[in-house]
Chains A and B, each alone.
Chain A
């Protein structure tokens, strides 16, 4: 049966849960307390990791969009939707945790800083992608629209990534040094760096696992849609 869950996916599920537990333990008990910000600094590990995998999800949607336009194979449409959906979930976590961190550090939940603004626009661009797709009944038309939209919408991703490097901002830059006006910067100790790097790896594994599940869901949806069309005709 085509819907049968592959053993490798079950293994990846278990690995993801174990890794998530380990990295959470590292954040809570291994990474030291930051000298100025205190416990809220520990939100940073998952904040950056979710931002990373969120953008990778959108990159997958871009690649799938290009592949669909070249091949017209519906599997790329399914992969594109999976990339956007997982990207949006992780970017939502990234934006909300950033706001929670900002409250005690910047003394505000929200400010229209270039990074916060571009990240919000990016999330809205992809939310529109999912909403607009819903309005298109014909699968080929929907897939073509999704592919073109994912390619154009991806402009918002490098813009968000580079916003803290090219504009004046109060948002700290983890890699590559940032604006001297950034508030909430800190130097990472070796234990912090190890936890941070491990978080990036764990969330990458988790994202692969979720994308795989979402692709399977998309394939099942395609099968149901085909059965409906068959019965209608």
Chain B
């Protein structure tokens, strides 16, 4: 009797894509968050300096 088709490579490729895209998105969220935090800190500083003038 013939067994299941050997499709292991496609299975691996599928899960690499799934976890790769999810990891990429989580990284993008973290990077954008850090960039915005830095921007906010700089702008707050500028605002304080403006207030002192």
Contacts and interface: CB of A to CB of B under 8 A. Distances in A.
A39 B8 contact: yes
A35 interface: yes
Nearest to B5: A38
Interface string A79-119: 00000000001001100110011011000000000000000
Contact of A217 (B14, B18, B32): B32
Interface string B12-53: 011101100110011001001100110110011011001000
A37 B33 contact: no
Interface residues of B, number: 29
A216 B8 CA distance: 39
A103 B29 contact: no
Interface of A is mostly: helix
B4 A37 contact: yes
Interface residues of A, number: 38
B43 A43 contact: no
B25 A36 contact: no
B5 A223 contact: no
A41 B8 CA distance: 10
Nearest to A44: B14
Given A3-B37, A227-B40, A231-B46, A104 B10 contact: yes
B44 A37 contact: no
A38 B7 contact: yes
Contacts of A97: 14, 17-18
A42 B3 CA distance: 16
A100 B8 CA distance: 11
